[in-house]
Structure 1
């Protein structure tokens, strides 16, 4: 089986994928590394699986993942959360001598306190933390990079600062998915292995201009006492001012029947794009 993740090897996505495999019975897994979200998504076919970051504790949801999920025909089969932290490496002996800083686009939002100390540095965003490290190692004498804390021990830079995230307690949640549509009729028959489930989905109203649309949608879940742990709005990109709602539902095994009955009821009025139903 091929497991597609953001690469190269050594990224937090790589660590998350390996942590997930420890909880699963898969064997003969081949890691398939890609530099972008779209390439990870496109690489997942058949019974192979992929992993993408969904949410960071300090910097919130990963918009690049949500935008892909909004229209993707995928089934999320699980998730994994891992701790993350970062270190700074630089080819200079003081922060004020740094001229260029390589930092992954999502890492940047988790290290704002450090970046505030570098007002004169050019911030160059990258697609992965390991690419930040590679750019730094191949760069100029006044370069620096924010890299995974796990990679610090292997570096010999002039300036090295550990634990540079805005707080030590930091984690990122990743989703694992297959390349097939998540269908209400099929997922409603899933036999959960645990007592709790999670169900992510998008709901798109026909029009966002009608007062009470969100109130109406939330009422369906309130009637059957289903807990919404996430509620976000994202543009549909069809026209300005038109939005879809991203929702994550948490519940127990005895609420499974009520969940799918509710989703069928909502689907009669709104566009429902189910993304998965899995043990939490």
Structure 2
């Protein structure tokens, strides 16, 4: 069994995978590292699982993940949140000597304060924090990189600047998924602990764009007292002005049947793309 993760080893995704395995007491599984989000998704085997970042505390939702989820046939089975912090290292003597800085595409939005101190440095975006580290190793005098704080002690660069995230309280949330379509089946078995919590994620796409469409979508959940914790609009790419709404719902297991009944009602009017329901 393989656990497909954005790599290489040492990334925050790797830390999230290790935390999920330890928390859920899962062994006999191989962590399978890949360079891009799409490669992670494609590598998930029928009996395997995958992990992708979905939200950062400072920089918001990860668009690349949401774009994949919008069209993917997957079932989310859990989530895990890990703290993230960054350091800056470089082949320089001082901050103002930096000519090029390698920064992972999502890390950049979390480290704006430090980047504003080197406005003349060229920012080179990378696909992974560990790729940033490797590019600095292979780079030249005047190069620098922002990397996981945990990597700083392992590097031997002449200049190091610790804790460069915009705030020290910073976390990233990851989803764990299987590659099979989530279903809108009403549970037939009673729940063991009706007070336990669940989260559900889905996309809802209206057939047309019209005044009040979002209000009508939200009214379904308001009437049944289902708690929406996330709502984001995503272009369908079919026509300008037509959007899907990414929604996350939080509730107790006693409300699970209500959720599925509500979504089945909505499916008569809207396109529902469920992404799974999992216990918290």
Common fold, TM-score beyond 0.5?
yes
Report the CA distance between 1:148 and its aligned residue: 0.3
1:191 positional shift: 5.1
Query: Any conservation in 2 of the 1:53–1:175 contact (CA below 8 Å)?
Result: yes
Shift, 1:278, TM fit: 0.3
Distance change in 2, residues 1:176/1:186 (3 Å): farther
Change (3 A) 1:187 1:168: farther
TM-score, normalised to structure 1, is: 0.97
Q: CA deviation at 1:24?
A: 1.5
List, as ranges, runs of 4+ consecutive aligned residues in structure 1 with deviation greater than 4 Å: 186-194
SS at structure 2 position matched to 1:67: helix
Displacement after TM superposition at 1:218 (Å): 0.4
Do 1:187 and 1:276's aligned partners in 2 also have CA atoms closer than 8 Å?
Answer: no
Deviation (angstroms), 1:256: 1.1
Aligned residue in 1 for 2:198 = 197
Q: Which residue of 1 aligns with 2:24?
A: 24
The aligned counterpart of 1:110 is 110
Secondary structure, in 3 states, of the residue corresponding to 2:13?
Answer: helix
Q: Which residue pairs with 2:72 in the alignment? A: 72
Q: Distance in 2 between matches of 1:190 and 1:236?
A: 37
Change (3 A) 1:253 1:91: same
Q: SS in structure 2 opposite 1:207?
A: coil
Q: Output the aligned Cα RMSD.
A: 1.4
Structure 1: which 5+ residue stretches go unaligned?
none
1:48–1:187 Cα change, 3 Å: farther
1:95-141 C-alpha deviation (Å, 9 max, x unpaired)? 11101000000000000000101111110000000000000001001
Give the Cα–Cα distance (whole angstroms) in 2 for the partners of residues 78 and 29 of structure 1.
17
Mark the CA change 1:131 to 1:262 in structure 2 (over 3 Å): closer, same or farther. same
Stretches of structure 2 lacking an aligned partner (at least 5 in a row): none
- For the residue of structure 1 that corresponds to 2:106, the secondary structure is helix
Structure 1 residues 96 and 27: CA distance shift in structure 2, 3 A: same
CA–CA separation in structure 1 for the residues paired with 2:232 and 2:190? 26
Structure-1 separation of matches of 2:275 and 2:220: 18
In 2, Cα distance between equivalents of 1:190 and 1:57: 35
Partners of 2:126 and 2:188 lie apart in 1 by 40
Could you state the TM-score of these two structures normalised by the residue count of structure 2? Answer: 0.97
Q: Which residue is 1:175 aligned to?
A: 175
Specify the SS of the correspondent of 2:276.
coil
Contact 2:191 2:254 in 1 (8 A): no
Following superposition, the deviation at residue 26 of structure 1 comes to 2.3
Partner of 1:153: 153
